[in-house]
């Protein structure tokens, strides 16, 4: 598995090196690149490229870094379009969820139920963290002034249930 991951990383690095060389040498290609690959779309595209290379070389584990890179690109895109750069104070809580999505995709591609389950857990924890921090920073007012209390109670019930289930 390690050889496949190294193969995928090598292909990605060679591709991007060749791409950067080509856009420096061919002016028309540079114009196309500037038109379609602007910040932060290029971050999302890099995530998609990592995923595609992982599929091509048969390394489904590459879905995890691909999801993280593309997810961070999505956060940056939101912040760029809305100029809401202070949202990073709670948006970082989504990153474990991105890793969870990658883990779930990895599990689907490799038929591994444990990876799907652990990925779903990471997405769930990430969503809870996002709700807690977005509420604490006053950016999410779904439940009004009772939101922090309700979220803590729900998290407590989930923790108790998961402890009892095992």
* 65-88: b (≥16 Cβ within 10 Å) or e: bbbbbbbbbbbbeebeeeeeeeee
pLDDT tens digits along 20-61: 898 889 888 888 777 777 788 889 989 998 998 888 888 889
Last residue of a domain, one of 23, 53, 83: 83
Residues in the chain: 166
Claim to verify: residue 70 and residue 94 sit in the same structural domain: no
pLDDT tens digits along 72-122: 999 999 999 999 888 888 899 999 999 999 999 999 999 999 999 999 999
Q: 82 or 149, which is more confident?
A: 82
The answer to whether 69 and 49 are in contact (CB under 8 A) is no
pTM value is 0.76
pLDDT for 54: 86
Structural domain span for residue 18: 1-83
Claim to verify: residue 59 and residue 99 sit in the same structural domain: no
Number of structural domains the chain divides into: 2
Establish how many alpha carbons lie within 13 A of residue 12's alpha carbon, considering only the half-sphere containing its beta carbon. Answer: 23
């Amino acid at each position: 598995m390690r050889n496949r991951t190294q193969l995928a990383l090598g292909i990605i690095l060679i591709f991007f090196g060749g791409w950067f060389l080509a856009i420096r040498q061919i002016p028309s290609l540079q114009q196309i690149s500037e038109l379609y690959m602007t910040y932060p779309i290029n971050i999302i595209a890099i995530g998609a490229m990592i995923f595609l290379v992982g599929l091509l070389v048969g390394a489904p584990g590459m879905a995890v870094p691909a999801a993280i890179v593309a997810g961070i690109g999505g956060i940056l895109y939101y912040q760029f379009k809305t100029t809401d750069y202070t949202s990073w104070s709670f948006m970082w809580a989504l990153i474990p969820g991105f890793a969870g999505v990658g883990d779930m995709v990895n599990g689907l591609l490799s038929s591994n139920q444990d990876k799907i389950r652990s990925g779903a857990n990471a997405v769930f924890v990430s969503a809870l963290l996002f709700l807690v921090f977005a509420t604490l920073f006053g950016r999410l007012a779904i439940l009004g002034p009772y939101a922090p209390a309700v979220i803590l109670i729900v998290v407590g019930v989930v923790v108790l249930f998961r402890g009892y289930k095992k």
